[in-house]
């Protein structure tokens, strides 16, 4: 099965990130201005990138800069070889960093080369016998990380008015709003809405709700549960400025990130 699209609708970075997060195995072919490159995924891991004769990480960083063109995504196609050996997130971070870097082009930006997983070992430190006793998932840290993730979200989605992570008790854990918005009130209302809907869908025997989309003349309101936790991500965006497809995509992608930032 093949999916085709245009890079003007979804950026290559987003496309790649989506494939990584959904654990896709297959080939992504990208064509831009007469050049064609292929990215092979295996279970959500990028294993091979090639363009013409060249392959490997360098090619990956090059193509990240392609902002126009078409792509074809074919699932199930296996990679002929492995030329990449780094985590998805590291590659993307490194690539983005390189694109941002405007200084001396000959000097590799720190993020351009793959980042090692274990830095302690590089400097010859001794392993400690004690387990990491400090619990990283204190309320504060959790909220802080989520806050950062939401900030990213508002930067990515055009027309976004507010985004919040809310618990089923109606209380927001993290939120970002553009403009004067009463987050507590909105969160409480969203929770009420969910509870009402759930009661109804139960009665209709329609299965479990996955997300909620409400369309008004002014806005889109999108709510998505974070895994099977008791929290959901709510987003509201100005209908005239946003793109529903993009909103849904980001909602899904960021929900994953938020789940990762939550305590287990």
Partner 1 sequence: MFINRKRKEINIKIVYYGPPLSGKTTNLEYVHRSTPQPQRGDLVALKTRGDRTLFFDYMQLELPPIQGLTPKFNLYTVPGQVAYAASRRLVLQGADGVIFVADSHPNRMQDNLYSLVDLYRNLKNAGTNPRQVSLILQFNKRDLENAASVSAIRQALRVNGYSIPIFEASALRGEGVLETLKASIGAVVNRIQTTGA
Q: Rule CB under 8 A: which residues touch partner 1?
A: 93, 97, 101, 103-104, 107, 109-111, 113, 115-128, 132, 134, 136, 138, 140-141, 144, 148
* Type and span of the H or E element at 160: strand 160-167
**Nearest distance, CB of residue 112 and partner 1, angstroms:** 10
**Nearest distance, CB of residue 154 and partner 1, angstroms:** 15
**Nearest distance, CB of residue 233 and partner 1, angstroms:** 20
**Nearest distance, CB of residue 57 and partner 1, angstroms:** 15
Residue number, 68 or 103, with CB nearest to partner 1: 103
Q: 88-100 vs 12-21: helix axis angle to the nearest 10?
A: 170
Q: In what order do the strands lie in the sheet with 2-6?
A: 2-6, 70-75, 26-32, 35-42, 45-51, 54-55
**Nearest distance, CB of residue 138 and partner 1, angstroms:** 8
Neighbours of 64 (CB within 10 A): 19
Residue number, 53 or 132, with CB nearest to partner 1: 132
Q: How far apart are CA 93 and CA 111, in angstroms?
A: 7
**Nearest distance, CB of residue 150 and partner 1, angstroms:** 13
Residue number, 93 or 188, with CB nearest to partner 1: 93
Residue number, 23 or 108, with CB nearest to partner 1: 108
**SS3 sequence of 141-158:** HHHHHHHHHHHHHHHHCC
Q: Which token pair is 109?
A: 């930006």
Residue 4 backbone phi and psi in degrees, to 5: -120, 155
Q: How far apart are CA 251 and CA 258, in angstroms?
A: 10
Residue number, 126 or 217, with CB nearest to partner 1: 126
Residue number, 69 or 111, with CB nearest to partner 1: 111
Residue number, 109 or 193, with CB nearest to partner 1: 109
**Nearest distance, CB of residue 156 and partner 1, angstroms:** 17
Q: How far apart are CA 24 and CA 73, in angstroms?
A: 10
Nearest to 182 by CA among 172, 167, 197: 172
Q: How far apart are CA 162 and CA 175, in angstroms?
A: 7
Handedness of CA 38, 40, 46, 47 (dihedral sign): negative
**61 exposed, middle or buried (CB, 10 Å; 0-12, 13-18, 19+)?**
buried
Residue number, 118 or 205, with CB nearest to partner 1: 118
**Nearest distance, CB of residue 223 and partner 1, angstroms:** 27
């Amino acid at each position: 099965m093949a999916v085709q699209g245009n890079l003007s609708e979804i950026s290559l970075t987003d496309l790649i990130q989506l494939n990584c997060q959904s654990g896709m195995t297959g080939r992504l072919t990208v064509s831009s201005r007469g050049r064609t490159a292929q990215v092979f995924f295996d279970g959500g891991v990028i294993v091979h990138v090639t363009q013409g004769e060249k392959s490997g990480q360098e090619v990956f960083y090059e193509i990240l800069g392609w902002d126009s063109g078409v792509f074809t995504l074919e699932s199930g196609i296996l990679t002929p070889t492995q030329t990449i050996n780094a985590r998805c997130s590291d590659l993307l971070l490194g690539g983005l960093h390189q694109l941002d870097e405007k200084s001396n082009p000959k000097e590799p930006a720190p993020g351009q080369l793959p980042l090692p997983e274990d830095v302690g070992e590089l400097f010859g430190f001794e392993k400690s016998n004690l387990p990491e006793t400090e619990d990283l998932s204190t309320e504060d840290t959790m909220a802080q990380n989520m806050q950062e993730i939401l900030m990213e979200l508002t930067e990515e989605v055009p027309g976004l008015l507010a985004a919040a992570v809310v618990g089923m008790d109606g209380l927001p854990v993290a939120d970002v709003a553009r403009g004067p918005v009463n987050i507590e009130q909105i969160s409480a209302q969203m929770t009420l809405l969910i509870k009402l809907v759930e009661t109804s869908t139960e009665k209709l025997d329609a299965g479990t709700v996955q997300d909620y989309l409400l369309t008004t003349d002014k806005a889109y309101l999108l709510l998505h549960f974070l895994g099977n936790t008791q929290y959901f991500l709510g987003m509201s965006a100005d209908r005239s400025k946003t793109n529903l497809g993009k909103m849904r995509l980001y909602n899904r992608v960021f929900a994953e990130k938020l789940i990762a930032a939550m305590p287990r």
